[in-house]
């Protein structure tokens, strides 16, 4: 592909929810809520234009996370454009445990790969390694890259991910409060060690979670039980944990989304729900009745493709 064809590239990066209850730091789910990024090579300088979530508070200079990730990828590729214009349309809520940082980093790295004149196609493995090094966690990055549900682990040469298809009956609902919580603050509340019994419990539930997500959604409630990280962070998000408890008491598979404070509910479509538009389905109405009125309820779907280059580049696995 010629350099001229890569003057501008548009990228779609989905929101993600990590941990999914017991699978702490290793599982992630891609969601249909997504940011769109447009990168354009210019003659000089940097221009950042933003609309949507966080546009009024995010920096419009070199400290912008997308720009920083873009620059890091350029350094790795040995290429730097004379100038750059970045335009973003942000739909992923910031600081709510929905993978906004992972989306920004993946988008920035993708932008560099897509625009670099010496790159024939985007290498997802290389992007996973750099984005994880830059962002710090492979779980959100892997789901953002591949879509569906992903399992991530450390291999001999860095992070590795495996993508699985999610049972189409599963409908994720995100419950989003006004409050925010940084991942660093949330992780700071976790103990340095855990009891062996709790580790064994979570290992069993994480294995069960794979079956529940891929072919037997009836197992979602027990498969999303956790002893390692949610209750330990309750002081930072007491309303979130109270909501999780309330939903689970009603038989709904609710978990803290990522580091919180949003809550993810993995519901199963009722046979009477419209398979195209289930935003007013039985499960949605049940969850809405238990959710505080000042929280946003987002009926989403599983993003099956992960990050997509809308124009300007090819992708390889």
Q: 31 with 63, same domain?
A: yes
Look at residue 166 in the predicted model and tell me its pLDDT.
Answer: 98
Decide: residue 233, CB within 10 A, 0-12 exposed, 13-18 middle, 19+ buried. buried
- For 68, residues 6+ apart whose C-beta sits below 8 A from its C-beta are 62, 108, 134
Q: 111 with 154, same domain?
A: yes
Q: What CATH number does the domain containing 20 carry? A: 3.30.230.10
Q: 68 with 126, same domain?
A: yes
Look at residue 121 in the predicted model and tell me its pLDDT.
Answer: 86
Q: 116 with 21, same domain?
A: yes
User: Is residue 44 within 8 Å of 83, Cβ to Cβ?
Assistant: yes
Question: 119: closest CA among 29, 255, 9?
Answer: 9
Q: 238 with 188, same domain?
A: yes
pLDDT digits (tens, 9 = 90+) for 11-59: 999 999 999 999 999 999 999 999 999 999 999 999 999 999 999 999 9
Which two structure tokens, joined as six digits, stand for 102? 């992972």
- For 273, residues 6+ apart whose C-beta sits below 8 A from its C-beta are 281, 282, 283
Look at residue 269 in the predicted model and tell me its pLDDT.
Answer: 83
Domain span at residue 276 reads: 170-299
Q: 175 with 288, same domain?
A: yes
Q: What CATH number does the domain containing 191 carry? A: 3.30.70.890
pLDDT digits (tens, 9 = 90+) for 84-111: 999 999 999 999 999 999 999 999 999 9
User: Can you tell me the distance from the alpha carbon of 107 to that of 104, in angstroms, rounded to the nearest whole number?
Assistant: 5
Q: Identify the residue whose tokens are 């997308």.
A: 66
% of the chain at pLDDT higher than 90: 83
Question: 164: closest CA among 98, 128, 215?
Answer: 215
User: Can you tell me the distance from the alpha carbon of 287 to that of 117, in angstroms, rounded to the nearest whole number?
Assistant: 49
* Neighbouring-strand partners of residue 268: 170
* Tally of structural domains, the chain: 2
């Amino acid at each position: 592909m010629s350099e001229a064809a890569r003057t501008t590239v548009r990228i779609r990066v989905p929101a993600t929810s990590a941990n999914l209850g017991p699978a702490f730091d290793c599982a992630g789910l891609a969601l249909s809520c997504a940011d769109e990024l447009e990168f354009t090579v210019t003659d000089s300088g940097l221009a950042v234009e933003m609309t949507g979530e966080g546009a009024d508070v995010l920096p419009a200079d070199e400290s912008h996370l997308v720009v920083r990730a873009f620059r890091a990828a350029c350094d790795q590729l040995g290429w730097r454009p004379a100038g750059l214009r970045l335009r973003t349309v942000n739909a992923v809520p910031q600081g709510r445990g929905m993978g906004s940082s992972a989306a920004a980093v993946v988008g920035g790295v993708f932008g560099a790969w897509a625009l670099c004149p010496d790159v024939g196609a985007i290498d997802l493995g290389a992007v996973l390694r750099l984005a994880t090094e830059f962002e710090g966690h492979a779980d959100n990055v892997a789901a953002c890259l591949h879509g569906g549900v992903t399992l991530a682990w450390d291999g001999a040469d860095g992070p590795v991910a495996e993508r699985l298809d999610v049972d189409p009956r599963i409908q994720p609902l995100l419950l989003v409060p006004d409050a925010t919580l940084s991942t660093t603050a949330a992780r700071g509340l976790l103990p340095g060690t855990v009891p062996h019994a709790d580790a064994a419990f979570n290992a069993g539930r994480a294995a069960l979670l794979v079956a529940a997500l891929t072919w037997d959604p009836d197992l979602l409630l027990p498969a999303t039980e956790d002893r390692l990280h949610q209750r330990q962070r309750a002081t930072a998000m007491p309303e979130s944990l109270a909501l999780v408890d309330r939903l689970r008491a009603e038989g709904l598979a609710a978990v803290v989304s990522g580091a919180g404070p949003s809550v993810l509910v993995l519901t199963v479509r009722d046979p009477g729900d419209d398979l195209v538009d289930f935003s007013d389905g039985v499960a949605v109405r049940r969850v809405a009745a238990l959710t505080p009125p000042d929280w946003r309820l987002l009926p989403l779907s599983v993003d099956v493709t992960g990050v997509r280059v809308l124009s300007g580049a090819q992708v390889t696995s």
